[in-house]
Amino acid sequence: MCYYCLEMTLSEEDYIKTIYHLSDFNSKSVATNAIAEQMKTKPSSVTDMVKKLSEKSLVNYKKYQGVLLSEKGRLVALSIIRKHRLWEVFLVDKLNFAWDEVHVVAEQLEHIKSDALIDKLDAHLGYPKVDPHGDPIPNKDGVFTKSVKKLISELPVGSQGVCVGVNDSSAAFLKFLDKNKIALGDTFKILEIEEFDGSMTISTRSGSIRISKQIATNLFLEIVDEE
């Protein structure tokens, strides 16, 4: 399918994406003010744009009732999200950007219009399933495996996942992780939880290590639901 045949502007695309994200998997209708805040614009501008998107039947909109993406709009949103996340993988895996530097650039790259480009990029990256932040990458048809991102401290013994983020991004904590050879992208499995102090034993590439409760509450693990 070729969504950009709709001739969408960059601004329209960003609105569609924002509405998708605010709708919680397109389940609840989104308020004008929420969109305005997210897009750093004014509610009146949002109303104007929402009317236009409604004209193009990308959203369902009734005055004062909030807005929800149509099926067409949902697919457009997912195709932009797909591009955004594939570019983020490219920036980290191929150009050696840090995982926290890529968002701004991907925000631009996601608007490049070329099906061939994104297909070939996908192949070049080895068809990744998640982006550097652990968020799932939809396929061409907008299908993706929902993923759960949780703090290690919230998981039971036996859980397994990829380390995709930190809660505490202080230099001290990041230095600590480095020292203990814990890096974004590593796969962890929870082996044991000590009731006494909440510390945990987890297995990593380089063997099993013990982490304090404080560390466990500051590391996010990405559990991909295989289905």
Q: What is the largest CA-CA distance in the chain?
A: 60
By CB under 7 A, residue 197 contacts DNA: no
Out of DNA, a copy of itself, Mn ion, none, what residue 64 binds, judged by CB under 5 to 8 A for its kind, is DNA
Q: How far, in Å, CA of 27 to CA of 224, rounded?
A: 21
By CB under 7 A, residue 129 contacts DNA: no
Q: 23, 32, 79, 153: which one contacts DNA (CB under 7 A)?
A: 32
Nearest distance in Å: CB 48, DNA: 4
Measured from the CB atom, the residue of 36 and 211 that comes closer to DNA is 36
Q: How far is CA 65 from the centre of its chain?
A: 28
By CB under 7 A, residue 68 contacts DNA: no
**CB contact at 8 A, 161 and 221:** yes
Q: 1, 6, 95, 183: which one contacts a copy of itself (CB under 8 A)?
A: 95
Q: Which listed range, 25-33, 119-127, 143-151, 188-196, lies at the site for DNA (CB under 7 A)?
A: 25-33
Q: How far, in Å, CA of 160 to CA of 182, rounded?
A: 15
CB-CB neighbours of 208 under 10 Å:
12
Q: 2, 7, 64, 116: which one contacts a copy of itself (CB under 8 A)?
A: 116
Which residues does 36 contact at the CB level (< 8 Å), separation at least 6? 42, 43, 45, 46
CB-CB neighbours of 126 under 10 Å:
9
The residue ranges that bind a copy of itself (CB under 8 A) are 91, 94-97, 101, 104-105, 108-109, 112-114, 116-117, 120-121, 124
